[in-house]
């Protein structure tokens, strides 16, 4: 039986009438995304039509998911909210804090010792507040959600940007910061600007070496890392029907890389098969009764241009395998162009490592297709030229692929089997020799490949591709190997041509597992004590942020003018810093250390305007804080791209930065800033970015009149006494302005407002 089946049935019970009402209000056939949104309004029955990319709307999500690296801060905040238990079903998943080094067994034991304090904290808070707890080793949050909790037509939020993965089962699953999760767990509405809709029509059929991954690698290439901002991507067409549910999950997962709010697919047989194989025939039976609500109205997919704000069409029969990178997931190269591109750009051709895993590609199907390539190498006496590592997505997958001989086959090729966890995908990888910072290439099936992400080495060129292509490239040891046309030399000196991958979508003998690693919460957790050691270096209870004093901010110093890509990895680095995710003061020592200073093109070196020296960003900011001097951060486009981690907003807040003024924001980060009582502003005139100088002092002129839709005026006083007055736009609505005034959204919840 599925978890929370009663909740799922309740959603389906009210869905048809709400969808009908919405259709009547909107006055035309509805997309799937609209059906899910309108049937999850906080007010229940829809009573008005909303403007896309315009209206802020209150929603009622069905569930909340959190992973260990973000759950700490989310739950520390939730503890301040003063509630007895979570208002909707919620889960915590331990997957980010496990270092990949020698292999699953040893690595997991080390993590359980090193992060014991954090896991114990998460386990006891979960137990206390009625939250399901998935232990370290149980798997990666998004695979576990897909296997256990996702359901067609549902609305879920999760404190991780790849929560969107659950779109593979036809849900709207959205990544948020911890403060948003706290709202929903506290029984409050969750607010989102009504998204725009991008339709992707998939014609033809995947074949040969092409995989679902290539669909999203192609979409990323078309839309770029910010092309999906503020939009839901809805996939449909014959091609969609021919793909597995986990393949659809891969596509939705990487929608995070184009900044999309989420992505989804209509309910179909692939979802029925997957739900049933994962023990949820009850969900299929319930969903079948409302099947027409779980996909768009037929007119929409017949004339999509009339219903979507943007339409993309991809013919799967013609789609080539893609290899995206280095350093950004939207730089797409079809396999047939790689020889030319790699040579032109001087990318290191030798592939050192191939990694299969991460929440985007760690399903049974992924492993079985990849191993079909590995098996060919073994059978043909080809010694792989690169090292190889895999992270199965969940214990259920690991157990089943072990039973089915897939692990053994991987091991024949010398593959390291790491824990069922994020591992190298989030820099939890003790890669030998990475500290030498040599130029090198790795290929992986992950979703992100920002500089330094996997191994901390800025010279590692990481390329994203499908699991089967990872296998082929790792075996050949070359980035420019094209398995469609090229041959390999085996150990007997013979030429071998690999045949295209094949594999089972689902295990023919069914999934199996001994201990999935789940801990149900106590029936009544009221008596459970959650203890945080005041001397802990890993956990720190939160102090509420101070409310706004009602005055214009004046005499603020420019902390940094960041240039170019400034992702959440630049603002609050992961890897070794993950261990401080529950300790705001300690983690603040990584604030913006990856951002490039416009004035000297260096990272972590900014001018200290108190004494004119140059120092590390967090250290300089701590001096401003100690001296009671406010500060401002300036940035470029798509600032805060990537992760949902609210540390990227809480750290500047904690250290005394007042405002972040950029050319544009990534959605989750902008909301995180607002929630934490910061000012997230954008240049009304982008060219004003060029006017900002290193020694600037900043005065807000009309913050006292802060109101929705009204730009703020800022005065930048330069060192020579001249001034530039510039306009800054913002997207705060009335209630968000209240968060700013109260010091944070949480301060309002705690005050019972
Ligand atoms: C990531 O992939 O960057 C992460 C680590 O999963 C993050 C969450 C985090 O920073 O903890 C995400 O994508 O939201
Ligand atoms: Fe974990 Fe990587 Fe997925 Fe983030 S993208 S949840 S780090 S596997």
Q: Using alpha carbons only, what angle is made at residue 540 by residues 538 and 543, rounded to the nearest 5 degrees?
A: 155
pTM for the model: 0.95
Q: Is 723 helix (H, G, I), strand (E, B) or coil?
A: strand
β-strand partners of 350: 478
- Provide the pairing of β-strand 440-444 with 351-356: parallel
- Asked if the model's pLDDT at residue 434 lies above 90, the reply is yes
Residue 753 has what pLDDT?
66
Rounded distance from Cα 95 to ligand 1 centre (Å): 11
Please choose, from the candidates 68, 67, 112, 165, the residue with its C-alpha nearest in 3D space to the C-alpha of residue 419.
112
Band of the pLDDT at 1, cuts 50, 70, 90? confident
* Contact (Cβ atoms closer than 8 angstroms) between residue 575 and residue 455: no
Residue with CA closest to ligand 2 atom 7: 426
Which uninterrupted H or E stretch holds 286? Answer: helix 281-289
- Can you tell me the distance from the alpha carbon of 577 to that of 580, in angstroms, rounded to the nearest whole number? 6
CA 46 and chain centroid, separation: 30
Question: Does residue 140 line the site of ligand 2, with CB under 6 A?
Answer: yes
Question: Does residue 478 line the site of ligand 2, with CB under 6 A?
Answer: no
Which atom in ligand 2 lies closest to the alpha carbon of residue 391? 8
Question: Does residue 426 line the site of ligand 1, with CB under 6 A?
Answer: yes
Residue 321 has what pLDDT?
98
Question: Does residue 162 line the site of ligand 2, with CB under 6 A?
Answer: yes
Largest CA distance in the chain: 78
Rounded distance from Cα 438 to ligand 1 centre (Å): 26
Rounded distance from Cα 228 to ligand 1 centre (Å): 18
Rounded distance from Cα 72 to ligand 2 centre (Å): 16
Which uninterrupted H or E stretch holds 489? Answer: strand 488-489
- Asked if the model's pLDDT at residue 236 lies above 70, the reply is yes
Residue 750 has what pLDDT?
87
Find where tokens 């992961």 sit.
Answer: 574
β-strand partners of 196: 231
- Give the C-alpha distances (Å, rounded to integers) separating 56 from 64, 664, 667, 676, 685: 20, 19, 13, 18, 24
pLDDT digits (tens, 9 = 90+) for 100-115: 999 999 999 999 999 9
Residue 752 has what pLDDT?
81
Rounded distance from Cα 231 to ligand 2 centre (Å): 21
Which atom in ligand 1 lies closest to the alpha carbon of residue 256? 13
β-strand partners of 729: 682
pLDDT digits (tens, 9 = 90+) for 130-147: 999 999 999 999 999 999
Question: Does residue 669 line the site of ligand 1, with CB under 6 A?
Answer: no
pLDDT digits (tens, 9 = 90+) for 82-104: 899 999 999 999 999 999 999 99
pLDDT digits (tens, 9 = 90+) for 697-710: 999 999 999 999 99
Beta carbons within 8 Å of 470's beta carbon, 6+ residues apart: 354, 355, 356, 370, 443, 444, 445
Going across the sheet that includes 231-236, the strands are 262-265, 231-236, 196-203, 310-315
* Contact (Cβ atoms closer than 8 angstroms) between residue 744 and residue 675: yes
Band of the pLDDT at 687, cuts 50, 70, 90? very high
Residue 342 has what pLDDT?
98
- Can you tell me the distance from the alpha carbon of 73 to that of 542, in angstroms, rounded to the nearest whole number? 9
Question: Does residue 322 line the site of ligand 1, with CB under 6 A?
Answer: no
- Asked if the model's pLDDT at residue 353 lies above 70, the reply is yes
Which atom in ligand 2 lies closest to the alpha carbon of residue 256? 5
Q: How many CB atoms lie within 10 A of CB 248?
A: 28
Question: Does residue 254 line the site of ligand 1, with CB under 6 A?
Answer: no
- Asked if the model's pLDDT at residue 583 lies above 90, the reply is yes
CA 155 and chain centroid, separation: 16
Phi-psi region at 392: left, alpha or beta (left = phi > 0; alpha = psi -120 to 50): beta
- Which residue of 254, 427, 446 sits with most ligand 2 atoms within 8 Å of its CB, as the best mutation to test the pocket? 446
Residue 749 vs residue 688, higher pLDDT: 688
Q: Which residues of 294-307 are buried (b: 16+ CB within 10 A; e: fewer)?
A: bbbbeebbeebeeb
CA 185 and chain centroid, separation: 20
| Half-sphere exposure in the Cβ direction for 706 (13 Å, CA) | 25
Provide the mean pLDDT of the chain.
97
Q: How many CB atoms lie within 10 A of CB 437?
A: 14
Task: For residues 236-256, give the mean pLDDT.
Answer: 97
* 140 alpha carbon, closest ligand: 2
* 649 alpha carbon, closest ligand: 1
Question: Does residue 358 line the site of ligand 2, with CB under 6 A?
Answer: yes
Rg (CA), the chain: 25
- Asked if the model's pLDDT at residue 648 lies above 70, the reply is yes
Question: Does residue 634 line the site of ligand 2, with CB under 6 A?
Answer: no
pLDDT digits (tens, 9 = 90+) for 269-305: 999 999 999 999 999 999 999 999 999 999 999 999 9
Q: How many CB atoms lie within 10 A of CB 745?
A: 26
- Provide the pairing of β-strand 351-356 with 332-334: unpaired
Rounded distance from Cα 1 to ligand 2 centre (Å): 27
């Amino acid at each position: 039986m599925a978890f929370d089946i009663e909740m799922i049935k309740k959603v389906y019970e009210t869905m048809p009438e709400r969808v009908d009402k919405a259709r009547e209000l909107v006055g035309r056939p509805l997309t799937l995304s609209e059906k899910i949104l309108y049937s999850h309004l906080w007010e229940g029955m829809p009573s008005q039509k909303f403007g896309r990319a315009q209206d802020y709307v209150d929603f009622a999500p069905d569930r909340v998911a959190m992973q260990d690296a973000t759950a700490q801060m989310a739950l520390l905040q939730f503890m301040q909210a003063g509630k007895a238990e979570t208002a909707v079903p919620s889960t915590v998943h331990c997957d980010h804090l496990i270092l990949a080094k020698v292999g699953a067994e040893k690595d997991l034991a080390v993590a359980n010792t090193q992060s014991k304090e954090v896991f114990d904290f998460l386990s006891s808070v979960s137990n206390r507040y009625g939250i399901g707890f998935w232990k370290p080793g149980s798997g990666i949050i998004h695979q576990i959600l897909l296997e256990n909790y996702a359901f067609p037509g549902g609305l879920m939020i999760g404190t991780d940007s790849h929560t969107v993965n659950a779109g593979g089962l036809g849900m709207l699953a959205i990544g948020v910061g911890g403060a948003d999760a706290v709202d929903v767990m506290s029984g409050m509405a969750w607010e989102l600007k009504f998204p725009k809709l991008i339709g992707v029509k998939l014609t033809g059929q995947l074949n040969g070496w092409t995989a679902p991954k290539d669909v999203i690698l192609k979409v990323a290439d078309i839309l770029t890392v910010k092309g999906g901002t503020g939009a839901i991507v809805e996939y449909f067409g014959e091609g969609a029907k021919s793909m597995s549910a986990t393949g659809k999950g891969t596509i939705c997962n990487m929608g995070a890389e184009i900044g999309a709010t989420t992505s989804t697919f209509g309910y179909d047989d692939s979802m029925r098969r997957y739900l049933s194989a994962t023990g949820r025939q009850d969900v299929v039976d319930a969903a079948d009764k409302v099947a027409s609500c779980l996909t768009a109205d037929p007119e929409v997919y017949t004339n999509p241009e009339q219903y979507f704000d943007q339409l993309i069409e991809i013919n799967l029969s013609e789609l080539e395998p893609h290899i995206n990178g280095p350093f950004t997931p939207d730089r797409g190269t079809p396999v047939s162009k790689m020889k030319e591109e790699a040579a032109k750009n001087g990318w290191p051709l030798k592939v050192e490592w191939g990694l299969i895993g991460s929440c985007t590609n760690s399903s049974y199907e992924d492993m079985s297709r990849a191993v079909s390539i590995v098996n060919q190498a073994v059978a043909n006496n080809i010694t792989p030229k690169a090292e190889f590592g895999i992270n199965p997505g969940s214990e259920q997958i690991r157990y089943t692929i072990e039973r089915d001989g897939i692990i053994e086959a991987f091991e024949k090729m010398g593959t390291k089997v790491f824990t069922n966890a994020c591992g190298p995908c989030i820099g939890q990888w003790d890669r030998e020799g990475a500290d030498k910072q040599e130029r090198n290439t790795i290929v992986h099936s992950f979703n992100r490949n920002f500089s330094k992400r996997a191994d901390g080495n800025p010279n590692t060129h990481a390329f994203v591709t499908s699991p089967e292509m990872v296998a082929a490239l790792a075996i050949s040891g070359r980035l420019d190997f094209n398995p469609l046309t090229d041959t390999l030399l085996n150990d007997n000196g013979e030429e071998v041509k690999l045949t295209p991958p094949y594999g089972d979508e689902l295990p023919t003998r069914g999934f199996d597992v001994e201990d999935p690693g789940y801990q149900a919460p106590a029936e009544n957790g009221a008596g459970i004590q959650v203890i945080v050691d005041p001397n802990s270096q890993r956990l720190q209870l939160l102090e509420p942020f101070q409310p706004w004093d009602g005055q214009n901010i004046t005499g603020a110093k420019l902390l940094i003018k960041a240039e170019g890509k400034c992702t959440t990895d630049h603002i609050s680095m992961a890897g070794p810093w993950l261990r401080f995710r529950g300790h705001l003061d300690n983690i603040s020592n990584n604030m913006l250390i990856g951002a490039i200073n416009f004035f000297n093109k260096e990272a972590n070196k900014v001018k200290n305007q108190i004494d004119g020296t140059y120092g590390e960003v967090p250290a300089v900011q701590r001096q401003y804080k100690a001296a009671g001097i406010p500060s401002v951060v300036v940035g470029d486009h798509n600032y805060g791209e990537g992760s949902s981690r609210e540390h990227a907003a809480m750290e500047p807040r904690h250290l005394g930065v007042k405002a972040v003024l950029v050319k544009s924001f990534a959605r989750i980060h902008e909301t995180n800033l607002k929630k934490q009582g910061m000012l997230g502003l954008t240049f009304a005139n982008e060219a004003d970015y060029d006017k900002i100088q290193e020694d600037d002092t900043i005065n807000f002129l009309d913050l006292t009149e802060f109101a929705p839709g009204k730009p703020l005026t800022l005065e930048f006083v330069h060192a020579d006494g001249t001034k530039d007055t510039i306009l800054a736009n913002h997207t705060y609505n009335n209630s968000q302005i209240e968060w700013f005034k109260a010091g944070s959204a949480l301060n309002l919840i705690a005050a019972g407002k």
